[in-house]
Structure 1
Amino acid sequence: MNEDKEVLKLVGARIRALRKERGYSQESLGEKGGFHFSYIGQIERGEKNVSLVNLAKIAESLDVNLVQLFAYIEEEFEVTEDEKQIKEIVQLLRDASPDNIRVSKNVIKGILM
């Protein structure tokens, strides 16, 4: 597989992972971003060389910044139980209020220090 296709597959896998984390179907993500669900599927499979403008729309629909779409997930990468726990904590913090984030930070610092 050439490098171009590898990038498309990695970005597509990342979009799929973010979509599933949020409980969206391809259809609901497509509706949020103004795309047909089949286009979302083609992107996720690495079949479409998606434009930067469309990537920005997808990122907005997923409530992430554009940079987060390029935080690739390797499909063969084995996730440890600790990494799953950390990911869950990060997701909880993303959904928390600024006050709760500050409190959580202080609690974590207190535990680890």
Structure 2
Amino acid sequence: METSIMIKIGQRVRDIRKSKGLSQEQLGEKAGFHFSYIGGVERAEKNITLINLIKIANALGVPVIDLFSYTKYQKSVLNEKDIMLNQLMDVLIGLKKSDLRKIQLFLDEFFEK
């Protein structure tokens, strides 16, 4: 079985969980799992299903794609700016094209581009 992906995903779950100040128990409660399951995922002992991965991402308040965002060159913990950018992206993605155009015009005016 290929475990390197499980290790990387587990490390991302741990890094994001810690950056949000959550214990394994708190994350488990939010996601609907026992804390020992969260620990098993983080240690790559559990071959997590996509459904459970989505539940964990939702409990962490991040898009599931963030759990796959890892490289050896990337910071393992999200900083405050990254968190803010993710929150802004979540809002912007839900807007209509006409509203995005208004935001773009506002930003151009505000920053005098």
SS, match of residue 59 in structure 1: helix
Q: What is the alpha-carbon distance in structure 1 between the residues aligned to residue 15 and residue 4 of structure 2? A: 16
- One-letter code of the match for 1:92? M
Q: Are 1:54 and 2:52 matched, yes or no?
A: yes
Unaligned runs of 5+ in 1: none
Q: What fraction of aligned residue pairs are identical, expressed as a percent?
A: 41
Q: Are 1:91 and 2:83 matched, yes or no?
A: yes
Closer, same or farther in 2 for the Cα pair 1:61/1:45, shift >3 Å?
Answer: same
Within 5 Å, which residues of 2 pair with 1:14-93? 14-74=12-72, 77=73, 79=75, 87-93=79-85
- Report how far residue 92 of structure 1 moved: 3.3
1:53-79 deviation digits (Å, cap 9, x = unpaired): 1001001101111111111254xx585
Q: What is the alpha-carbon distance in structure 1 between the residues aligned to residue 51 and residue 11 of structure 2? A: 18
- One-letter code of the match for 2:81? I
Closer, same or farther in 2 for the Cα pair 1:92/1:65, shift >3 Å?
Answer: closer
Larger Rg: 2
1:2-44 deviation digits (Å, cap 9, x = unpaired): 7x11010000000001101111000000000110001100100
How many residue pairs get aligned? The number is: 98
Unaligned runs of 5+ in 2: 93-102
- Per the normalisation by structure 2, the TM-score is 0.69
- Per the normalisation by structure 1, the TM-score is 0.69
Closer, same or farther in 2 for the Cα pair 1:73/1:31, shift >3 Å?
Answer: farther
SS, match of residue 64 in structure 1: coil
